Structure 1
Amino acid sequence: MLGLLTGGSNMIKEGVMFHQNHTKRPEWQQNLFVLWFGNFMVGMGFSLFMPFMSLYIDTLGHFTNLELNFWSGIAFSATFLVVAIVSPMWGRLADSKGRKLMLLRASLGMAIVIGSMGFVTNVYELVGLRMLQGVFSGYISNANALIATEAPRAKSGQALGTLTTGNVSGTLLGPLLGGVIADIFGYRIPFFITGTLLMLVFFLTLFFIHERNFTPIPKQAQVSMRKLFSTLKYPHIIIGMFVTTMIIQASNYSISPILSLYVRQLMHGSGRVALVSGIVASIPGIATLVAAPRFGALGDRIGTERVLLAGLVFAMLVYIPQAFVQNVWQLGILRFLVGVSDAALLPQVQALLAKYSPAQATGRIFSYNQSFQSMGNVMGPLIGSSVSGAFGYGSVFLSTALLVVVNFFWVLSSTKRLRATHQK
């Protein structure tokens, strides 16, 4: 398939050059525009089905409540577990074959796999396809790597901040859109729609993404990650950002299993709980969409690590009150502020990775970061479910705030030398 994609890319070379010569937008900005849409759709592809995944599984057989919860958990986690395992492999291939080729592989593979989920007849087929979806991961990490190497270094923070809003917004808006579509058209149609849109992402990437600043690194010439880290100026920052990414995702996803149940409790079991839950789940995406590029530009001016630390302090302050809200409107306002804090977190992590990673290993470093991100995606719901089962829904927000505190001191330690350098 990789050879076919390479051939298709060469066939349109003349058309691409014509388009390139007749556009006023800098090429890296065109890449950013297309990859933002791609990240948005991939984010939706991973989250669109969450509001009705259990309901869809329930139509695929006769399950007890225990069995339904078990298969729902397996279907949710399967993708992220596979992503955590295979991401480093795709990262090595990206450094030797190019990031654009990996973007094409991921978008085409996900388009076919997610579209096929609408045809399954039993839960085993669905879980198998969810695992296969993880195999075709790597769009977001390679989009980050491509922008990190193509955008001017002085604008990398702003560019990566903008790019991250695509994934974050798609992930957070996906449940609302998925719930609405499933409510109107049924559970299978969202899979077909998502597969079609990801196929559109494939063709947009094929025709309009240009990778100029790439020097292939033959597989036999690629050094081991241990040796690579020994050559980095700030290896502790790279490792620190891996762990930070995992904790950020665990914090965000720890709320996922209980959010709709918490909303139902605040609404005393009456009203349109599902719709309100979808709105509350999506509100942070709006704030992140607006704030992330601005925080990225601010980080370029005053230091990315400072914006990251400030974002963690703010996150801690907005998570704690969510445990004590009395109505859903208070929760909605605080969730909006969570979106503001999110805008100061993951985009800054991506910017730090971009600024302190060598160009010849950017693909591998971002793919390792995606593995840690996926581990956080798996850990978060397990933490949220366990804490809520033992201490109630409100306690999940307190445990999440505790995770943020741990993350703050971790970042404070891992960026100590960097902050000292900037103060000189």
Structure 2
Amino acid sequence: MKKIKGGVTAPQGFSAMGLNAGIKKDKKDMAMIYSVVPCTAAGTFTTNQVKAAPVKWDQKMIYENEFSQAVVCNSGVANACTGEEGMKYCEEMAQETAAMLGIDKESVLVASTGVIGAQLPMDKIVNGIGMLVPTLDASLDGGHLAAEAIMTTDTVPKEVAVELMIGGKKVTIGGMCKGSGMIHPNMCTMLGFITTDVNISKDLLYEALSNDIKDTFNMISVDGDTSTNDTVLLLANGLAENKKITEKNKDYYKFVEALHEVTVTLSKKIAGDGEGATALLEVKMINCESKEQAVTLAKSVVTSSLVKAAIYGHDANWGRILCAMGYSTAKFNPDSVDIYFESKVGKLKIVENGRATDYSEKMATKILSEPEVTTIADVKMGDCEATAWGCDLTHEYVSINADYRS
């Protein structure tokens, strides 16, 4: 397996485009992904009880239909808390896209991101669909433009692609996502679109995605807010022509490994681009008694406002880490925990058996001044581990969200 350039158009048979349809003043705000053949599809969605209309539409389409073939997405308006009118607009988006592409309405998935509570400007949406379809581009540029068009407060587009051999055939997986704020474990306002030319059954595609999400997108947090619109869609068109994966064999696990590389890369891109963030914070819990314990501890630390603020200040305030572990509800012995800080400039043990080591504050500050910082807690209770990703908490985060609608 190797990483290659590109995103959702890297696999065979997929094209995409992103452009400005007038929902936003001067930024791209609509995107489309299309496969030349119908795709097996899987999706995972927000756990928030308040689910946006596109989430409900996609759940119905994926669960009740065998194939999907296109995704249309708008940025700027979330189509959340919009009642029956919002659902009608989802259907209208799908119908308009299907008519222009010559495919079934039920094979079109929709996604929206942006301000909650506002109705979609359907005149602009319909016009945007009319501009997207004839400009769909199978090159890497098409995928990149689509990645730009789904951004809200993101500062950079987020893409990744990998290729590998399965059954003697070259298989590619590509992805793009958006997310910067309202990000919290349990599907994070994030949208993720993953495409692949692998030939795989719907059941195994869904199992691969749903199992992987637990260790990737569900392990990131920017601000503790779980969105109404969180969606990850995975489309597989089979054009790699490998022998269809219908059982959990060697080919299946190779696909699972490659999918994980895509999702963990996208997850880290979201966490590192948190609103106002200056650093990606990685939290590793090692030698835990169970996976559940490790996940609980890692999430508690990565979501701690005090830990996040300390990372912003490049302050090795390890007491905040131990404190966050302590209120996590996971049982452990604080007097046995070792804590380390690590970045590309080095690794430093700052706590041993629950007490501070004679570490260098200067070296700690140097480590914490890097754009990617890792904190490691060794719980010494077993051999299970978990990793969570987040970011520092800055003044800029408040500024961005204080006037988000204006």
Q: TM-score surpassing 0.5?
A: no
TM-score category (smaller protein): under 0.3
- Structure having the larger proportion of residues in helix: 1
Q: TM-score, normalised by structure 2?
A: 0.28
**Structure having greater relative contact order (Cα 8 Å, sep ≥ 6):** 1
Q: TM-score, normalised by structure 1?
A: 0.27
- Structure having the larger proportion of residues in strand: 2
